[in-house]
Amino acid sequence: MPPTEPSGTSLQRRMDLALLYPICLVMVLAAVSAYYVAEHFSRVVHDHWLSDSVNSLAEAIAPGPNGAELELDERARALIVWDAEDRTWYRLVSPTRGTIGGSNDVPSAADADDVASVGATRLFESSIDGERVRVASLNLPAARYGEPLTLLVAETERKRTRTAHEIVTAVLVPQLLLTALAIALLLRAVRRTVRPLKTVAARLSAQSHSSLDPVPFEGAPVEVHPLIHALNDVLTRLKGIVDTKREMLATAAHNLRTPLAAALLHLQRVRAADDSSAQALTTAQTALRRAAHAAHQVLSLAHAEANAADPSKFVAVDLCALAHQMGAELAPTAMEKGHSLSLEVPGKVVFAQGHYDLLLSAAMNLLDNAIKYTPRGGDIVVSVRDGDLVGIQITDNGPGFTPPALGEGGDERFVRGKHSARSGVAGAGLGLSIVREVASRHRGRLEFTPGPEGRGTVATLWVPRASAPVASAVPDAAPVKETAQARAAEPASSTILP
């Protein structure tokens, strides 16, 4: 099956976009600013030219007997009006005589809204025959011409617009080329930066469940070292899990194969020799019991690891009912060793948030250890604890148990405690691993403390409490203490925990 395309945006793409967006934004702002700068300078230059034109035309005005006159011959008029690109108009206005010379189409400054100045010349925008024009207005003094006059020169804005466009083009084209070069260099730099990550990914892809070697730091940037270190930690833990699984399968197979082979051998002896039938059946029963116990522990551990990973699926578990069930199931085993097995529960139902089967399996492993390791005729108490956390507590008066450091037995899988060999207790060394796995899944803890007066061990499985379901609420009552006297000398019908 081909690998699916990963969802989300790649780091390289995100870096590309993070760089391209600001560059494009800056380029747009540069284009807008270049346009307004070009328009400004084009207007300033042409306004000065237009101001020079109106001042030059003013030199052609001369006073006369009937008032000032604009003395222009045809050649002079052609020089003023002619332009290869724009059209030009002029107009001389007297407040008493009206238009003295030029075109009446030229508007006056009185109709303008936005008026600029270049020296004594005022400039403003208007229109003639539907086309935008720029008008220069110059007021002439009455002392020189005998009456106040106003000279106006209007010009279309074609050269202004073309000049502004040429300036914008001259500015933006090099900027666009430089921006394209910068983008290409940045994208190349991003790809070179992301390349070590792809190298790390390739090294991880080359891993298999049988190798899981650490990813080397050589060639990776310093910023990627924390990621590689975290990946190596994960690989180390994963390698440990894989090795443990492999060891578990090998040891479990051995622990199952050996007693089952012995059981088959003794069953063959039953068929071959009647006089040794009873002893052979007893030995076969013991071997099969060991095989069943080992299989149960292996399956319990696998169940604890594979299930209950989602705390949202946990339910309220009645620990009092759970304590009754585990006592009832293991009471016959306690009877065989002549132990006194007691149950102490509070006067109310105590609920834990969890998985019933897993909690039962963990608690029964604690009780089974207490039964196996406590010397014959010992006292074992199963209690339900209620506090900030709730739990099942197993108290015995056996040889005591101190949680060992890793590697000393009792806490590692398939490694049995140091008292196992001396006491002749059979087992696969999975009991505490199962309990700790269940506690971890329930966000609880396994606690060991010395027993009363320093004798024996108190093992408590603490888990979070749960709110009591309405249908399961019970009225408060006095604490309950039930005892199963399971002595070897007592009859098999002795009272067992219900």
Q: Which of 145, 165, 185 is the last residue of a domain?
A: 165
Report if residue 109 sits inside a domain.
yes
CATH assignment of the domain containing 135: 3.30.450
User: For residue 384, what are its two tokens?
Assistant: 């339900």
Segments of the chain with pLDDT less than 50 = 1-7, 308-309, 405-418, 420-428, 470-480, 484-498
**Structure confidence at residue 488 (pLDDT):** 35
The domain total for the chain is 2
Question: Which residue's structure tokens are 């009552």?
Answer: 477
What is the SS3 assignment for 286?
Answer: helix
Report if residue 34 sits inside a domain.
yes
Report if residue 455 sits inside a domain.
yes
**Structure confidence at residue 415 (pLDDT):** 41
What domain range includes position 427?
Answer: 310-468+480-485
**Structure confidence at residue 350 (pLDDT):** 92
Beta pairing, strands 389-396 & 379-386: antiparallel
**Structure confidence at residue 482 (pLDDT):** 52
Q: Write the burial class of residue 249 (CB in 10 Å: 0-12 exposed, 13-18 middle, 19+ buried).
A: exposed
Pick from 98, 96, 93, 97: nearest CA to 109: 93
Distance CA 122, CA 47 (A): 10
**Structure confidence at residue 336 (pLDDT):** 87
CATH assignment of the domain containing 464: 3.30.565.10
Report if residue 326 sits inside a domain.
yes
User: For residue 413, what are its two tokens?
Assistant: 């899988």
Report if residue 91 sits inside a domain.
yes
Q: Which of 125, 144, 165 is the last residue of a domain?
A: 165
Report if residue 492 sits inside a domain.
no
**Structure confidence at residue 461 (pLDDT):** 95
Pick from 50, 42, 116: nearest CA to 125: 116
Per the CB < 8 A criterion, the answer to whether 478 and 361 are in contact is no
Report if residue 19 sits inside a domain.
yes
Q: Which long-range contacts (CB under 8 A, 24 or more apart) does 158-165 make?
A: 158/85, 158/86, 159/46, 159/85, 159/86, 160/42, 160/43, 160/46, 160/134, 161/42, 162/85, 163/38, 163/42, 163/45, 163/46, 164/35, 164/38, 164/39, 164/42, 165/38
Report if residue 495 sits inside a domain.
no
Q: Which of 165, 198, 231 is the last residue of a domain?
A: 165
